């Protein structure tokens, strides 16, 4: 098996902060000196590129081009370390090895995928090739919320799966479905991450309760933060405000990723 | 005149059209089959001797005997979930995933959506 590890970030429901966590976590791992890639497999509703300062005008070739045989993986990889896009937080990534493999935000290209379907042999080949072509230590996969075929494929090929949930009963029920599926796919490292916890709650108690319910480690409990909401995805919050409670809690997750076997 | 690689590529593509495993099926596989499919998904393609090597290097609790491996490979190949090129020691195996089906909505819906989107080209589109 190739040396680089695949880390899938998933949530059963939308609005959990999945893309924000994925982008910040990938950036934090890149800051440790590792070579890191981020693939946006949320082809129906891509969004993670915004956190890395890309818009339609700056975006070159995309995963959609790869899936239609119009581009190679080498052509899609966008070096964030060489194009930090100006944000105060992102500028700290200058010279780091962090590459984004974005999905298209053009309406016609999204509708083409929905209409024609996806060649999964090619999608899987693309994900594995990013690791070898870019000599990655870690490849983060930002998935579409809920369970669909792309998500199952990314879970099935992952070394590490991080399931994000809010302390909310709808999320808890949905997460149990995802945990069952992940266990049936033999994912070697299954972790949970609680996001948007109200600060008035006892975070240690949340952690203990959820770990007992799912029999899986909770890597961190991140607070619901108005400061993060105010950031509005214009920058990588944990790099811009490294001393903020949310950023400190996020950095707890880095060790779980780096120490995963 | 097509070379040997072109012919092999065509052979693989022809076989891929004959079926494939969907990501949904992966969760339903037996533990032995799933181990092989997970391995193949990561490696994309492997020769038979390399597969034997990797299986032998697995932790004892996960290891398959040669007979179990051969039987699993044979069954996975029959179902076109793996594609085999060549025979015996020279065989190369490649995973075969079923294509995700496109939308079943009436084609008229997509034509009108396309027409509307064409009216609003993105900034850097031709």
Nearest to A130 by CA among B16, B44, B8: B44
Query: How many domains does one find in chain B?
Result: 1
Is position B126 within any domain? no
Query: pLDDT-derived band of residue B10, with 50, 70 and 90 as boundaries?
Result: low
Domain presence at residue B95 = yes
Q: Does some domain include residue B115?
A: no
What number is the ipTM of this complex? Answer: 0.87
Q: Which of B18, B20, B23, B26 best probes binding to A when mutated, by most A CB atoms within 10 angstroms?
A: B23
pLDDT at position B124:
45
Please give the residue range of the domain that contains residue A223: 5-259
Give the residue from chain B lying closest to A185, CA to CA.
B27
Q: Is residue B123 part of a domain?
A: no
**Residue A66 three-state SS:** helix
B contact set with A (CB within 8 A)? 16, 20, 22-24, 26-28, 31, 34-35, 37-39, 41-44, 54, 95-103, 110, 113-114, 117-118, 120, 122-125
pTM for the whole structure:
0.90
Read off the pLDDT band of A101 (50, 70, 90): very high
What are the phi and psi torsion angles at A200 (to 5°)? Answer: -75, -15
Residues of chain A in contact with residue B120, where contact means CB-CB under 8 angstroms, are 107
Distance CA A51, CA A38 (A): 12
B114 occurs within a structural domain:
no
Can you say whether residue A47 is alpha, beta or left, with left for phi > 0 and alpha for psi between -120 and 50 degrees?
alpha
Give yes or no for a contact between A37 and A7, defined as CB atoms under 8 angstroms apart: no
State how far the Cα of B116 lies from the Cα of B126, in Å rounded to an integer: 16
Mean pLDDT of A230-245: 96
**Owning domain of residue B74:** 4-101
Nearest CA in chain B to A182: B27
Considering only the beta carbons, identify the residue of A111, A124, A184 that sits closest to B41. Answer: A124
B4 falls in which pLDDT band (50, 70, 90)? Answer: low
A186-220 pLDDT, tens digit each: 999 999 999 999 999 999 999 999 999 999 999 99
Q: What CATH number is given to the structural domain containing A231?
A: 3.40.50.300
C-alpha pair distances (Å), A25 with each of A14, A141, B16, B73, B115: 18, 11, 37, 38, 40
Tally of structural domains, chain A: 1
Are A111 and B98 in contact (CB < 8 Å)?
Answer: no
Q: Are the C-beta atoms of residues A127 and A8 closer than 8 Å to each other?
A: no
Which residue of chain B comes nearest to A147, CA vs CA?
A: B24
CATH code, domain carrying B44: 1.10.10.10
- Residue B124: its chain A contacts at CB < 8 A? 56-57
**What letters, b where the CB count within 10 A reaches 16 and e where it falls short, cover A238-249?**
bbbbeebebbeb
**pLDDT above 60 for A146:** yes
Among A1-5, A66-70, A225-229, B37-41, whose mean pLDDT is lowest?
A: A1-5
Q: Residue B16 has what pLDDT?
A: 60
């Amino acid at each position: 098996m190739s040396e680089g590890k695949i880390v899938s970030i998933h949530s059963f429901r939308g609005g959990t902060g999945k893309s924000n966590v994925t982008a910040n976590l990938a950036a934090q791992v890149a800051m440790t000196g590792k070579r890191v890639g981020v693939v946006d497999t949320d082809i129906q509703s891509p969004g993670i590129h915004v956190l890395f300062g890309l818009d339609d005008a700056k975006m070159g070739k995309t995963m959609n081009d790869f899936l239609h045989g119009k581009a190679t993986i080498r052509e899609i990889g966008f070096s964030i370390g060489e194009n930090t896009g100006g944000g105060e937080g992102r500028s700290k990534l200058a010279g780091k090895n962090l590459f984004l493999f974005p999905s298209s935000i053009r309406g016609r290209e999204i509708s083409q995928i929905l209409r024609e379907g996806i060649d999964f042999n090619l999608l899987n080949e693309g994900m594995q090739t990013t690791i070898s072509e870019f000599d990655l230590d870690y490849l983060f996969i930002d998935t579409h919320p809920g369970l669909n075929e792309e998500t199952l494929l990314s879970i099935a090929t992952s070394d590490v799966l991080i399931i994000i949930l809010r302390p909310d009963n709808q999320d808890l029920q949905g997460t149990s479905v995802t945990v069952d599926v992940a266990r049936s796919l033999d994912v070697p490292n299954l972790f949970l991450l609680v996001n948007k916890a109200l600060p008035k709650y006892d975070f240690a108690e949340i952690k203990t309760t959820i770990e007992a319910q799912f029999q899986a480690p909770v890597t961190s409990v991140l607070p619901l933060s108005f400061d993060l909401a105010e950031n509005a995805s214009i920058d990588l919050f944990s790099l811009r405000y490294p001393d903020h409670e949310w950023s400190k809690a996020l950095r707890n997750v880095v060790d779980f990723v780096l120490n995963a076997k | 005149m097509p070379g040997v690689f072109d012919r092999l590529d065509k052979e693989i593509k022809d076989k891929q059209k004959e079926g494939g495993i969907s990501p949904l099926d992966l969760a339903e596989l037996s533990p032995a089959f799933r181990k092989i499919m997970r391995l193949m998904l990561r490696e994309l393609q492997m020769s038979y001797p390399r597969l034997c090597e990797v299986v032998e290097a697995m932790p004892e609790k996960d290891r398959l005997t040669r007979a179990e491996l051969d039987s699993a490979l044979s069954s996975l190949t029959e179902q076109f979930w793996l594609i085999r090129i060549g025979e015996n020691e020279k065989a190369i195996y490649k995973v075969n995933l079923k294509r995700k089906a496109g939308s079943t909505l009436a084609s008229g819906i997509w034509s009108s959506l396309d027409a509307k989107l064409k009216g609003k080209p993105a900034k850097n589109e031709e």
